[in-house]
């Protein structure tokens, strides 16, 4: 985490706003943005722009004049398409009333956090973690409590006792991200059941971030070709809020469209929170999202195959330098690598921009346990990743 912003005290703004830290990812990305020939692997997006059939659905909607305000929960056709998609992916009946369209996964997270936590509350997050959850928790006036995971030669492991130990009387929710950004940790069904049992016994909400569910690489850990999900172990009355996005599966990061899946009993509350934050999602984007769900399976398969190949190149290539610790991640599309002998990964990330012309995110951006690590996104064409390894190797070897 970076330090809160300092500013003239005469401006006297609220601590929740002033204390929201600068994203350590954005900081480095801003440092290197626009450098000639840089390979940008710092943010969580691939190199493919959105497929034409998705863009064209938006273009058609614009041309048809769909430029007006719309349903705050999302257009019925998209909520319906999401229910069908979930039925295919998870093999269980679903319901359009469970889905609420948001301005990206971040907005889904903001709304989920706003529902479950505020002043005086704590939310527990296994770390290292995507920093934006703790950012949203801070902005909501609550406190993000880290439950550090452990890393060994097999990879990252959830320490369930540490998770239990982080829960206090003030805890209102657990954030569970599996497959995880940045570590690739992927919960087994048994782990999901254990987390759910903890949440039930302590009366906690679970905010479930399963946006990388389809990027899973270890058959022994998988269910029907995807990562295990809370949907595989939950009961309808369990208090779970799923936050989701079109960004990753369908290469739509820049569109800002995602969704919340929740019990329909929360429908009016979620509608109100959408109304008072963004007032809905552009209809052309919702039409594009329908195209993604209905016609996008071969593109998703292509993305997964590329990520699988990217993972091989990066894990193998960096291991060969002898300077990094990097067990192959079982899920998501990041290599979270520990550089031997490096104490300051933020400085190293800046140095790799300058000396290797490669953009990686510093582990310090991901909270407790991230120091000494770098995150590399391997959702990219093989040539770029091979070139990345070639550029990084000499710099790493010289450390």
3-62 residues in contact with a copy of itself (CB under 8 A) are 5, 7-8, 10-18, 20-23, 26, 30, 43, 45, 49-50, 55, 58-59, 62
**If we measure between CA atoms, which residue out of 109, 180, 166 comes closest to residue 334?**
180
Quick one: 75 or 389, whose CB is closer to a copy of itself?
75
Binding test (CB under 8 A) with a copy of itself, winner from 75, 103, 213, 292: 103
User: What is the smallest separation between the CB atom of 373 and a copy of itself, expressed in angstroms?
Assistant: 21
Q: Does 385 bind a copy of itself (CB under 8 A)?
A: no
Residues in 325-344 that interact with a copy of itself by CB under 8 A: none
The single residue among 1, 24, 28, 72 that binds a copy of itself, judged by CB under 8 A, is 72
Cα 119 to the chain's mean position, in Å?
25
Measure the CA–CA gap between 100 and 260, rounded to whole angstroms. Answer: 5
User: Which backbone phi and psi does 210 adopt, to 5 degrees?
Assistant: -115, 35
Q: What's the min distance (Å) between Cβ of 211 and a copy of itself? A: 13
Binding segment (CB under 8 A) for a copy of itself, from list 105-113, 214-222, 303-311, 373-381: 105-113
The CA-atom distances, in angstroms, between 89 and each of 193, 224, 229 are 20, 8, 10
> Can you give the length of the chain in residues?
399
What's the min distance (Å) between Cβ of 83 and a copy of itself?
Answer: 20
Would you say 149 or 266 has its CB closer to a copy of itself?
Answer: 266
Sorted by sequence, the CB contacts under 8 Å of residue 203 that are 6+ apart come out as none
276 Cβ contact list (under 8 Å, min separation 6): none
- The 248-287 site mask, x for binding a copy of itself (CB under 8 A), equals ---xxxxxx------x-xx-xx-xxx-xxxxxxxxx-x--
Neighbours of 368 (CB within 10 A): 17
Is residue 106 involved in binding a copy of itself (CB under 8 A)? yes
Site for a copy of itself in 183-222 (CB under 8 A): 203
Give the residue ranges of DSSP H helices in the chain.
Answer: 15-18, 24-32, 52-63, 76-90, 104-116, 131-139, 160-166, 189-202, 267-275, 283-295, 297-319, 345-356, 382-397
Residue 114 or 226 having the CB closest to a copy of itself: 114
Contact between 223 and a copy of itself per CB under 8 A = no
Backbone torsion region of residue 325, taken as left when φ is above 0, otherwise alpha when ψ lies between -120 and 50, otherwise beta = beta
Q: How far is the CB of 327 from a copy of itself (least distance, A)?
A: 28
* 101 or 356: CB nearest a copy of itself: 101
Collapsing DSSP states into helix, strand and coil, what is residue 216? strand
10 or 343: CB nearest a copy of itself? 10
ω into 182 cis (within 30 of 0): yes
65 is an interface residue for a copy of itself by CB under 8 A: yes
Q: Using the rule CB under 8 A, which residue among 36, 37, 63, 169 binds a copy of itself? A: 63
């Amino acid at each position: 985490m970076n330090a809160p912003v300092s500013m003239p005290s005469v401006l006297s703004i609220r601590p929740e706003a002033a204390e929201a830290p600068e994203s350590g990812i954005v900081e480095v990305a801003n440092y290197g943005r626009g450098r000639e020939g840089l390979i940008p692997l710092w943010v969580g997006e691939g190199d493919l722009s959105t497929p034409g059939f998705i863009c064209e659905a938006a273009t058609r909607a614009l041309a048809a004049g769909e430029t007006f305000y719309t349903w705050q929960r999302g257009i019925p056709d998209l909520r319906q398409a999401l229910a069908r998609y979930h039925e295919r992916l998870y093999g269980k009946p679903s319901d359009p009333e469970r889905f609420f369209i948001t301005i990206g996964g971040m907005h889904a997270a903001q709304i989920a956090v706003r529902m479950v936590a505020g002043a005086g509350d704590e939310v527990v997050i296994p770390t290292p973690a995507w920093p934006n959850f703790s950012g949203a928790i801070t902005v909501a006036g609550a406190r993000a409590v880290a439950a550090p995971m452990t890393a060994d030669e097999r990879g990252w492991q959830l320490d369930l006792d540490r998770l239990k130990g982080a829960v206090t009387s003030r805890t209102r929710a657990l954030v569970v991200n599996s497959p995880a950004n940045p570590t690739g940790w992927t919960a087994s069904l048994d782990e999901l059941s254990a987390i759910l049992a903890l949440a039930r016994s302590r009366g906690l909400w679970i905010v479930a971030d399963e946006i990388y569910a389809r990027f899973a690489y270890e058959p022994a850990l998988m269910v029907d070709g995807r990562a295990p999900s809370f949907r595989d172990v939950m009961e309808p009355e369990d208090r779970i809020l799923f936050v989701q996005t079109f960004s990753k599966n369908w290469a739509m990061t820049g569109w800002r469209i995602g969704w919340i899946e929740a019990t329909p009993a929360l429908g009016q509350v979620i509608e109100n929170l959408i109304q008072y934050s963004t007032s809905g999602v552009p209809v052309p984007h919702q039409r594009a999202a329908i195209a993604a769900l209905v016609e996008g399976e071969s593109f998703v398969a292509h993305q997964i195959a590329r990520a699988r190949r990217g993972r091989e190149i990066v894990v193998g290539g960096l291991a060969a330098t002898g300077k990094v610790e990097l067990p192959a991640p079982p899920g998501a599309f990041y290599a979270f690598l520990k550089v031997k002998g490096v104490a300051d990964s933020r400085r190293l990330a800046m140095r790799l921009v300058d000396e290797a012309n490669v953009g990686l995110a510093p582990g310090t951006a991901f909270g407790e346990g991230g120091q000494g690590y770098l995150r590399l996104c391997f959702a990219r064409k093989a040539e770029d990743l091979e070139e990345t390894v070639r550029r990084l190797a000499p710099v790493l070897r010289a450390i």
